[in-house]
Amino acid sequence: MSGTHADVPTLVSTPLPGPVPSDEYDRCPVTDVIRRVGDKWTLLVLVLLGRRAHRYNELHREIDGISQRMLTRTLRALEDDLLVCREVFPTVPPSVEYSLTPLGRSLLEPLSALADWAVENETEIAAARHRPTLETKNAR
């Protein structure tokens, strides 16, 4: 914060000569991470697992409205990226526990910074959305 529009670290300061090549952009690690976390459930799952390890149905109960299908897919995707860890205990009936990996926990830090920004500027954003659709004449 501090300065009104201080220099932003990397990202903005690094130069780019020509246009951004499309295929290079598709593989950009930054966009990649944001898009992966930007789906409907991933963030919430990460946050819940950041509090403590959960079993499958614990998550299913705590996340109101998620379908089994999406919970499974979300967990699998996170597991594939080594952000969450899946442990099967051979009890009967079997129980599966999900927890954050160190990598997953480290991701929660910058995510939390973003969350703080969102909360701080929540009212400003909300106010913007409720503007009278910008007159002119028809529906914009």
The footprint of a second copy (CB under 8 A) covers: 1, 4-6, 8-12, 16, 19-22, 25, 29-35, 37-40, 43-44, 47, 50-51, 61-65, 80-82, 102-103, 105-119, 121-122, 124-125, 128-129, 131
User: Which one among 66, 78, 84, 100 touches DNA, defined by CB under 7 A?
Assistant: 66
Residue 112 touches DNA, criterion: CB under 7 A = no
What does 53 bind: a second copy, DNA, none (CB cut-off 5 to 8 Å by kind)?
none
User: Which one among 31, 32, 76, 114 touches DNA, defined by CB under 7 A?
Assistant: 76
Per rule CB under 7 A, count of chain residues that contact DNA: 23
Q: What are the distances in angstroms from CA 105 to CA 6, 63, 101, 133?
A: 28, 20, 6, 41
Residue 99 and residue 51: Cα distance in Å, rounded? Answer: 9
Phi, psi of 97 (to 5 degrees): -120, 135
Please report, to the nearest 10 degrees, the dihedral formed by the alpha carbons of residues 81, 43, 74, 100 taken in order. 50
- Residues near 111 by beta carbon (within 8 Å), at least 6 away in sequence: 37, 43, 46
Q: Which is nearer to a second copy, 31 or 95 (CB)?
A: 31
Looking at this protein, which amino acid is placed at residue 118? A
* Minimum separation from the CB atom of position 95 to DNA (A): 4
Residue 42 and residue 73: Cα distance in Å, rounded? Answer: 10
Residue 63 and residue 37: Cα distance in Å, rounded? Answer: 16
Scanning residues 8 to 37, which ones bind DNA (CB under 7 A)?
A: none
Residues lying near DNA in the complex (CB under 7 A): 39-41, 55-58, 65-70, 72, 75-76, 86, 93-97, 140
